[in-house]
Amino acid sequence: EAGVVQSPRYKIIEKKQPVAFWCNPISGHNTLYWYRQNLGQGPELLIRYENEEAVDDSQLPKDRFSAERLKGVDSTLKIQPAELGDSAVYLCASSSSGHNEQFFGPGTRLTVL
């Protein structure tokens, strides 16, 4: 069974540029999470989807970040415009509804110059 897939794995951009990350969760997992992990810290939740609905986006900086999961399967996280402080690893995870064990993708390491 394929795990959580993320792309790209690495991205280097200049500040003020846009960037997008893609995630395909494990087949059948209704819940999808986007996390940001800053250096030396644990992952922090940005947004959680139940199917196509964003049910917790309280930690998403909505002035520059957006996300979508139009068909309730794969998802895209976008930053526009990127700032220096957005440099981090962006992790996607998925889980089955009703279970709190999450399965993670390899992450996208973003560097903003």
The residues of the shown chain that bind other proteins, judged by CB under 8 A, are 3-4, 9, 30-31, 40-45, 48, 50, 55-56, 91, 95-107
Please, which residue, 9 or 62, has the CB nearer to other proteins?
9
* Residue number with CB closer to other proteins (48 or 112): 48
Token pair for residue 110?
């973003």
Residue 108 CB, nearest approach to other proteins (Å): 11
Amino acid, single-letter form, for residue 95:
S
User: What is the nearest approach in angstroms of other proteins to the Cβ of residue 79?
Assistant: 21
Q: Choose between 42 and 70: whose C-beta lies nearer to other proteins.
A: 42
| Smaller CB separation from other proteins, 22 or 104 | 104
Contacts of residue 102, defined as CB under 8 A and 6 or more positions apart, other chains included, come to 33, 93, 94, 95
Q: How far is the CB of 84 from other proteins (least distance, A)?
A: 21
Cα distance between residue 112 and residue 90, in whole Å: 13
Q: Which of 104, 82, 81, 111 is nearest to 33 (CA)?
A: 104
Q: Which amino acid is at 67?
A: A
